[in-house]
Every structure is written in C-alpha cells, then in structure tokens.
Structure 1
Amino acid sequence: MRRTFHKMHGLGNDFVIVDAREAPFDVTPSLARAICDRRTGVGCDQLIVLEPSDAADLRMRIWNSDGGEVESCGNATRCVIQLTGARRVDSAGGLLTGEDLGAEVEVVLPAPRFGWDDIPLAYPTDTNPLPMAWDALENPVAVNVGNPHLVFFVPDVGEVSLDELGPSIENDPAFPERINVNVATLADNTLKLRTFERGAGETPACGTGACASAVAAILTKRAQSPMNVEMAGGALTIDWAPGQPIRMRGGATHVFTGELDLAALA
C-alpha cells in the first residue's frame, strides 16, 4: 500500500505530513519511527497526520521520531496551515488558529499555563522558578504552551552541553510526561535559543520552544513583547501579554511531495 506525503519544514524543523481526512492512516510507534528514520525512511523530526475534526477545519496529530505521540508543535502548525489553507487546527494541545500571510504564517496558541499540575510535575512546587538544577542549569521557568517546556536563561547558549544534559532533564522523574528543554540568552529584546525536544533531540528550531521561552522572558520582566527569537534554523516573532493567547509568526517551506511504500517500512 502506498500513501502520498508532503515533506515540509519550519526553519529546519522538518516533517512528513500525511493527509488522512478522506482515507484513515493508522500509525503505530514502530511505523512512526520507520518513517522518521533518516537512513531507511523518509527522515524527519516529526510525523504529522491530518484527520477530520468536528471542532475545526482539521485535526493534527504528531508523532516524534522516537515513536511517541505528543500534543503540539508550533512549526508543524505553520506548515499545516500553509499546506491546507486551514484557519482552525484541533490538536491534543488545544485549538490553534492561524493564517497564511504569504511570506510568513501566523499561529495563535492558547494562553500558557504555569500550574505544577499543568506542566505536569510529579509533585506540587513552584514553577517560576522551578527549584531544581542539573549541573550549571538551574532554576528554570516551567510553562505549558500546549506541550511542556523548561526555560533556562544562561549567559551563552553556545556554552551549554545540551546533548548531554537534555536527555537527563527530559527523562527526570519530576516530569511524568517528560519535558522539552530550552536554553536562552537575552540581548536587546532578542532571545538566542536552543531547544532539546523530548523524543526528538536538539532541533534547528522549535516553535513551541520559542513561544515558551519568550513567555518566560516577558513573565520574568527580562524582556518586552513582541520579541524576536533566533534559532539555528531561523527566527520567529512572538507576541504575548499575561492572560492572553500567544501569537507566533514565521516561515514554512514545502520541500517535496512523495509516496510512502508502507510494505517496505513494515
């Protein structure tokens, strides 16, 4: 059996997108891992499947490259809006709205949540800052922007051994659903950001990571909205005020259309 897919990326954070609104597409963890594999599959950070929705134009489901299904992805949402023209996207992380502006796509995420049980944490504790440390990384801000993030403010993001610290933080027992890890350096209302995504590792860009980090900077009065967030893959503009939804604006790129040979991936 063969299925058409679209390869897209948002600032280098890349996706295989399968439109299953007319014909169902059943995903198992092993199939997601096979499609995402960069040697024997198509290769991507996340597999995205589009399904029908009664609450929105479509429903977006997301599998990381380790085969785990997750709630939300800002870069993928921009790609889906550009690909389909959808204005309302249902996801496990909440209802997302957006618009293709031509050179950029804007996505509106629900208001961030900061409660210990919103993250979620394994036990009640403060989240701003979270009184925990991993080597030199300490006292992050914890925030849920549709998926859970920690934001560490550091003097120089380039000096952080994220490949070593990321997995231990992601899988710490304090985070029963694991967690995304961000290290951010602020200069002139611009954040330089690196993100270690749970289930995927460090990626060139992370839309929800950019949102979470900008929210944390504004919340702690380190910066003012709107903010530029610069990542290895490019930049996003994030606009947020306390109690309000988050507005994210940036690029989305269609790379090619292809066919999955599901028998070969089994």
Structure 2
Amino acid sequence: MRITAYKYQATGNDFIILDNRDGSVTLTEDQIKYLCHRRFGIGADGLMLLNKSKKHSFSMIYYNADGKEGSMCGNGGRSLVTFAAHKGIKKFDFEAMDGLHYAELVSYTSSACVVKLGMTDVNEVKEYSPKSYQLNTGSPHLVIFVENVKDYDVLEQGKLWRYHPHFPEGTNVNFVQGSWGRFNIPKFEEGQDQKITVRTYERGVEDETYSCGTGVTASAIALHKLLTRNKFSYSKVDIKIPQTVRNIIETKGGELEVEFTYTGEDNYRDIKLTGPATYVFSCVIDC
C-alpha cells in the first residue's frame, strides 16, 4: 500500500499526518513506531490520522511515537487543523480522544498557519505539593515549579515522575519557571499577562519534546492556581469571578499563548491554545 505522508511541526513538536478520510489506511503498532523512528523512519513525536466524521468537519486519531494510540495532543491538534486547511477544509470542529474541539485560523499561508485551538474544560487541579500540581487537559500532567529550568535535568527527573507509583498509568511531566525567585512568588494581578518557561517530558515519546500543547495549557492553569494563593500560607486570595487570564509560554520550540476563563473553585472554561503550525514536507511511503 502506497500512502502520502505529510510532515508538520508546531513549535518543534513534529508529526506525521495521513489523510484517511476514505478509510483506507491501516497501520500496525510496529509500523507507526517505525515511521516515527528518527533513524529508520521519517521521524516524529507522533502520527495522526485525519478521519471522516459523520457529525463534524473531521476526527483526529493520535498515536504516540511508541506506536500506541495516545490521548489528546494540543500541538498535534493545531497541526491537524493546519493540514485540514491546506486540504481545503473551511470549518474546524473535530472529534478527538477527549471530546469535541473547535479551532479558528488566526493567520493562513500555504506553508503555515497560526491556530487558536479550543481545549477541554478543566474541573480539578490537585495540589501534589506546595509547588506541584496534577491535572488533566486532555492528557494527564504533573506540573512542577522549579528555580532554574534552563539547566534542569528534565530527562532524569521527568522519567522519575513519569513512572512514579503515584501515577499507575503514567503522566506527562512539566517543569516550569516564572520570573520570580524561590521565596518571592507574586500574588495574582488581574489583567496582567503572566510569562513562564516550560520544559516537558512526554509520556509515549519517553523523552523531552520541544514543546507540548496540553503541557503548556496545564502549566498555565497550575500557575493560576499557585498565584491565587497567598505566598506564605497558601491560603486562597480573593479574586473576581469570572475572570479571564492570558499567559505567554516560552518553550524550546518557540512561544505559545494560553488563555482561559476561571469561574471559581477549580473550574477553568473557554481554554484556548494559540500558536503556529508549519508544513515541513511530504513523501510517498510503502506500507
């Protein structure tokens, strides 16, 4: 079987995309793993199928680089929307593992788009420790705030937490640094954009990736949780509800924006992930 494969990347998170709207593509776990291999295949953090949907514009099937079907991938979603736009699709409501998503094009060219992707609501943020939080943004994440993320051993520490007994199904791990010192965590200031740097160890890739869409989303929400607590007692700070928050996140692969509306307790709504996605190349493969 000969298939046209398309390579896309979103802030360095790279993917193989196959147009499967006719339902003809059938790949085994080993074949997907081979195609994603950076020495023997095309090389990618994951593989996606653009499938037909009866009710919506299309559906998204995502596989990790280990060949196993994965949970939601935010950067993958933005890449798939860009691919769909390049294929002539005009409306971007699509089904994924975690439910229905909506997206819009902020900008469009024949090689790249900036996509604003709607993410699933978050209803629970668990405080794992005073500076680490556990939540699900379509994929499970642990967010840990550290002092010097640039020199942090993400591979070693990420692997340790990814396989920790507390997470029997595994978790993605994000290491986050803000612009404050260890004992100078600021209180939340409404209307003020927060800027953080995030590095992520991804489950399924089993390595650090250049960026992770669901990871930066989780990090932005965890940051809000951290900043709306008193910096000494960690008691909750009085804030207006509902409240719209915007974050600028720096990753190895570039800058992303996360915005959301906080409606009280651990409820986060209207979550949007915005950033670029770029066509890299296409090729024909034999499977």
TM-score normalised to structure 1 length: 0.87
The corresponding residue for 2:23 is: 23
The corresponding residue for 2:176 is: 184
Q: Output the amino acid matched with 1:260.
A: I
C-alpha distance in structure 2 between counterparts of 1:190 and 1:139, whole Å: 17
The corresponding residue for 2:116 is: 106
C-alpha distance in structure 2 between counterparts of 1:159 and 1:98, whole Å: 35
The corresponding residue for 1:217 is: 223
Offset from partner CA, 1:145-191 (integer Å, 9 cap, x none): 01100100111112321111112211222223210000001127201
Superposed counterparts of 1:42-61, under 5 Å: 42-61=42-61
Matched, 1:3 2:28: no
Q: Output the amino acid matched with 1:40.
A: F
Q: Output the amino acid matched with 1:130.
A: Y
Q: Is the 8 A contact 2:12 2:210 kept in 1?
A: yes
Partner residue of 1:145 out of 137, 140, 147: 137
C-alpha distance in structure 2 between counterparts of 1:175 and 1:217, whole Å: 21
Aligned-pair Cα RMSD in Å: 1.8
C-alpha distance in structure 2 between counterparts of 1:161 and 1:55, whole Å: 45
Quick check: which has more Rg, 1 or 2? 2
C-alpha distance in structure 1 between counterparts of 2:115 and 2:8, whole Å: 14
How far off its partner does 1:139 sit?
A: 4.8
SS in 1 for 2:245: coil
C-alpha distance in structure 1 between counterparts of 2:228 and 2:214, whole Å: 19
How far off its partner does 1:69 sit?
A: 1.3
Give aligned pairs, total.
244
The corresponding residue for 1:199 is: 204
SS in 1 for 2:161: helix
SS in 2 for 1:78: helix
C-alpha distance in structure 2 between counterparts of 1:234 and 1:254, whole Å: 16
Matched, 1:261 2:286: yes
SS in 2 for 1:23: coil
Q: Output the amino acid matched with 2:128.
A: L
Matched, 1:251 2:276: yes
How far off its partner does 1:222 sit?
A: 5.9
Moved over 3 A (4+): none
C-alpha distance in structure 2 between counterparts of 1:114 and 1:68, whole Å: 27
C-alpha distance in structure 2 between counterparts of 1:253 and 1:162, whole Å: 26
Structure 1 gaps, min length 5: 116-126, 132-137
How far off its partner does 1:100 sit?
A: 1.5
Cα 1:228/1:139, change in 2 over 3 Å: closer
Cα 1:171/1:17, change in 2 over 3 Å: same
SS in 2 for 1:212: helix
Q: Output the amino acid matched with 1:91.
A: A
Offset from partner CA, 1:95-129 (integer Å, 9 cap, x none): 111011215110011112427xxxxxxxxxxx2x1
Q: Is the 8 A contact 1:113 1:145 kept in 2?
A: no
Q: Is the 8 A contact 1:149 1:180 kept in 2?
A: yes
Q: Is the 8 A contact 2:249 2:258 kept in 1?
A: yes
Q: Output the amino acid matched with 1:87.
A: F
Q: Output the amino acid matched with 2:281.
A: F
Matched, 1:169 2:161: yes
The corresponding residue for 2:182 is: none
C-alpha distance in structure 1 between counterparts of 2:100 and 2:174, whole Å: 24
C-alpha distance in structure 1 between counterparts of 2:25 and 2:170, whole Å: 26
How far off its partner does 1:56 sit?
A: 2.1
Structure 2 gaps, min length 5: 86-90, 108-112, 180-192, 230-243
Q: Is the 8 A contact 2:46 2:62 kept in 1?
A: yes
How far off its partner does 1:82 sit?
A: 1.2
C-alpha distance in structure 2 between counterparts of 1:55 and 1:147, whole Å: 24
TM-score normalised to structure 2 length: 0.80
Identical aligned pairs, as a percentage? 32
Q: Is the 8 A contact 1:111 1:145 kept in 2?
A: yes
C-alpha distance in structure 2 between counterparts of 1:186 and 1:222, whole Å: 14
